[in-house]
Each structure stands twice: as structure tokens, then as C-alpha cells.
A and B are shown apart, each in its own frame.
Chain A
Amino acid sequence: MSVHDTTGPLLEARGVNVSVDGRDILRDVNFSINHGEFTGLIGSNGAGKTTLFRVILGIQEHAVGEVLVHGEPLARANRSLGYVPQKVLFDPDLPIRARDLVALGADGHRYGLRRRPRALHEAVEEMLDAVDASAFADRRVGGLSGGEQQRVLIAHSLISRPELLLLDEPLANLDPGSVQEIIALLHRVSKRQRVAILLSAHEMNPLLPVMDRIVYVANGHVASGTTDEVVRPNVLSALYGHHVDVLRVHGRVLVVATALPVGPPPSDEHPEFVVE
């Protein structure tokens, strides 16, 4: 387990600005993530969620400000971070079984052709079990459903024992049943393995029962805190730049624009990062 102290925040973003081709995508972003907490990164499509992940991973160019992990500047490919990207496409003919992909999370970066130790095989079994993927461990990843692939990717990222797991829109394109399963699974894993989770989504409602904190992105700006602190009319109106109402109906939260926006519409459209 971690040798670092767990008193301060695990990750801290301070004054992060990102502009691409002269356009501001994120402005003065500040937030922190604590050990073992479940944080939702909420914002509409194109709000800059993927860009923010890239900043945290240290692969976003033209970023100003700093991201601290354990109070220290971020090194590229920090071992404390695990990452599940938005879209991973697997060819159905790919000769890689679910368990092979999980094992690559542990030793895929190692050079040399050593035999995998027994401990690694055991860790793979354990991880597959933790994400309820044992039943399809021997099937090719390309032939699995979206929800099944998501579980395998989570196991792949968790096997290196990160302290923070970043998941970019893991719930997109899943049926409602799978959404609930993946959320429950992440909640369980984060408590059991004491791993903090930062999960991006454009819909906050499925996450309300498990979210400790929220980072709300809109209009290039960010508001963060507990759900009760952030999901309020005054906070979100300031963020969007026009008045919005927050309605609570049957335990669900709806953020709606009350009137036509005055002034220019929020420029929250920009191309999401595409993995080449």
C-alpha cells in the first residue's frame, strides 16, 4: 500500500488553464481529490472533461497551472494513477482474452521475456473476481459486451494498485442495468481497495448515491465540493453564465435553464480529444 501520508489531498489542481489553437477550453480550474473518495466529474459533452483527464495524466499540451499528486508536481505516467479511456475499440479477432488484458495492466510495460510469476496469475484471478468478470475471463475481449469490456478495463487499471482511478465516461453507451452494476462495482472496489475514483459523466443522477464530491464543468469553468454545495442555483448559474434552476424530483436532480440566456450563448463546444 501507499507509503505516502494520507492526510493531505491525494490530488490537487491549481489554476489550470488549457487553450488549444488560441481557444480557451478550461480557465482557472481548481479542485482537489481526497484519498478513497468517489468524485464525479460532471459536464455536458464537449465541456472539457476529457481535456481535464489529459491534464491530470500529464499528456495535455498548452496547459498552464499545476496538478499536484501528494503535494508534488505531476510526473508523466504517474504510477499512482490508473486510467480507463472513453473509447477502447477491440477487434473481435484480436487474440487477447479478458485475463490477458488484465495481466498486461500488471506487466505490459516490462521488457524481456520472463515467465509470469504465479503471484501475477493469482492477482489476475483476484482482480477478475473483484469486477465479477471471472465468468468470461477466457473469452476474447473483442467479443464481450460494452459492460463486460468496461469491467475488464477496470480490472486492467486496478491491478497496478493505483491510488486514483480515472474513468472517462464509462457509463456512456451502456444500458441502464449495466450502468447501475458498474457504479455499484466501482463503489465497492473503491471502499475495499481504498482507491479514489474520478469518474466523468454527462448525467449526475445515477451517481448521486455514491458520489462523495462533485467537480462540475461548464463553460470552461469548474465548481467543486459536495453535491449539496455545488448543485445549487446560484453556483451553477454563475458557472453557466446565465440563470439555471435546480429541481429535485423523486430523488433526482434536474438542472434546467429558466429563461432564454441573455448575452452570448456559452461556448462549451469544442472538439473532444480523439485518441489517434
Chain B
Amino acid sequence: MFASFMTNAWISGTIVALLAGAVGFFVVLRGASFAAHAIPNGAFAGAAGAYLVGISPLVGLVSFAVLAALGIGVSSRRTRNDVATALSLVAMLALGAAFLAVNLLYEPTINALLFGEILGVSSSQILPVIVLGVVSVIVLAWFYRPLLFTSVAPELARARGIATTTVDVAFLVVVALATALTVPVVGALLTFSLMIGPPAAARILVSRPGWAVAGSIGLSVVTVWASIAASYLFNLPIGFFVGALGAVLYLGARVVARRRATHPAT
């Protein structure tokens, strides 16, 4: 599994894991899981559209994911956030269905888009993945504190003069970038499990915000590495292992937290 044709899988998988762990921490903190589910579906439509017109799928992934994010961010100012998110989700899915219908894609390509493919990132895409990943992490680090503040107590942040709507939309764009990078590896349907499982487990185990981010990233990397290895060994989609491991991590964290509560640390 460490053969040269697997190199891209390990590199892109690791970048995706680092990013999803960090972005996912805030997704969970803000209760934005639904948006993290909707945006990959937008990205999926974008990839399908990119195949249709014959451009790089990454271009389609990024542009449609960002469009979905802006759609959710802007329309949720007017209406309720979950309604706006749901509408963006179904509009994108419908578009994706239409693109697939007029496309003559092989079934494995569609499967890979939906459920992930460890060889989903080609050599020509590895550099854009690295660049976008680094940019996303820098943006996230730059507005870490206002983002944390608005996630924890939006009304306090607003009173303190933080432009919370701007932070909201900027964050959704970062989610979109992270999504666009994650979909080719983990698949559109299960990308959000990588953004939810490890962060949800980390925040139960660790009570300091900075360490919880680190824990989330760590668990995410372990999840992706284990999933790549298992996917290679058992020839099952990587998305399956990411989703299953995420759920196991969360349940495990709950059990550990309950043990701690009943048997205080000695």
C-alpha cells in the first residue's frame, strides 16, 4: 500500500485530514453540520458538470462548493438557516442529477464521486490541493479568535463589535474549500462524516479550545490514514471506513467521558 501509485493518496489524504479536522471543529461548534452536509452535494454537482464540459473536476468542485456556501450564507440572513441550507442542498443535487443524466460517465467514476476513491486525486491535481489546503489553513488561523468567539456566543461577539455575518460567510467559504478538496478522496456523501466525527469526539474529550482543535486534527488524520489502509486491504470504498470510524470515535469518546464523570481522575 506504500507503492508509488499510492503516494498521491497518502499526500492528499493527509492534507484533507488536517483541513477537515480543523474546519470540522468549528462546524461542530457552530452547529453547522447541515451546511457541511449540503456543501459537498454542491461540490458533487460541480464535479459532474466539469466532466460534462471537459474541464478539471477540481475547478467544478471548488466553484460549486463556494457557490453553495455563498448561497447558504447570504440567504440565511433573510430566512431560517436550515431552510436556506436545505434549499441549496436540493437545488445542487437536482443539478448534479441532470449533469449525470446527460453525461456518459462510467459508473465507477460516479461511485468514486459519491463514496470516495483512494486514487481519486491525480498527480496533476496534487499541487492545487496542497495550495488550496495551505490557503484554507492560513485563513482559518488568521480569524481563529473571532471565529471561536462568534461560534461560542454570537450575541456577545456582536455586542463586542465583531461583524458576525462576515465571519459566518467567510467561514462557509473555508468549509467550501475544504469540501472541494475532501470530496475526491472521501466522496460527496461521506465528506461531512469526516468533518463531524473526529471533531465531535475531540470536543467531548478535551475541554480547552486550542487543544480540542489539535485533538480534532489528530483524530481526523488517524481516521483518514486507517481508512486509506483499510480501503486498500479490503477493496471497499474509503468513505465507508471514514464514516464508520467517525461514528466509533464519537461513541468511544462518549463512553470515556461517562467513565470520567463516574470515576473522577485520580
What residues of chain A have their CB less than 8 Å away from a CB belonging to chain B?
Answer: 57, 59, 76-77, 79, 81, 83, 85, 88, 90, 93-97, 100-101, 104-105, 107-113, 138-140, 153, 156-157, 160, 275
Complex contact B156–A97 (CB within 8 A): no
Most buried by B among A85, A95, A111, A113: A95
Interface residues of B in 141-187 (CB under 8 A from A): 141-146, 148-149, 152-162
B226 to chain A: which residues have CB within 8 Å? none
Complex contact B159–A95 (CB within 8 A): no
Q: How many residues of B contact A (CB 8 A)?
A: 29
Complex contact B155–A275 (CB within 8 A): yes
Q: How far is the CA of A222 from the CA of B154 in the complex (A)?
A: 30
CB distance from B140 to the nearest CB of A (A): 9
Q: Is the interface of B mostly helix, strand, loop or mixed?
A: helix
Complex contact A108–B159 (CB within 8 A): no
What residues of chain B have their CB less than 8 Å away from a CB belonging to chain A?
Answer: 29, 141-146, 148-149, 152-162, 202-204, 206-209, 211-212
Assuming the A-B contacts A93-B204, A94-B29, A97-B208, are A109 and B146 also in contact, with contact meaning beta carbons closer than 8 angstroms in the complex? yes
Complex contact A111–B143 (CB within 8 A): yes
CB distance from A94 to the nearest CB of B (A): 7
Q: How far is the CA of A275 from the CA of B144 in the complex (A)?
A: 23
Most buried by B among A88, A109, A160: A109
CB distance from B192 to the nearest CB of A (A): 18
Complex contact B143–A104 (CB within 8 A): no
Assuming the A-B contacts A85-B156, A108-B149, are A96 and B143 also in contact, with contact meaning beta carbons closer than 8 angstroms in the complex? no
Q: Can you name 16 extra interface pairs (CB under 8 A) apart from A57-B159, A90-B152, A160-B160? A: A79-B161, A83-B159, A88-B153, A95-B29, A97-B208, A104-B148, A105-B156, A108-B146, A108-B160, A109-B145, A111-B146, A113-B141, A113-B142, A153-B156, A156-B156, A275-B155
Complex contact A111–B156 (CB within 8 A): no
CB distance from B25 to the nearest CB of A (A): 9
Q: How far is the CA of A93 from the CA of B207 in the complex (A)?
A: 8
B158 to chain A: which residues have CB within 8 Å? 59
A95 to chain B: which residues have CB within 8 Å? 29, 202-203, 206-209, 211-212
Complex contact B144–A109 (CB within 8 A): no
A113 to chain B: which residues have CB within 8 Å? 141-142, 144-145
B207 to chain A: which residues have CB within 8 Å? 95-97, 138-140
CB distance from A109 to the nearest CB of B (A): 5
* Nearest B residue to A82, CB-CB: B159
Q: How far is the CA of A109 from the CA of B148 in the complex (A)?
A: 10
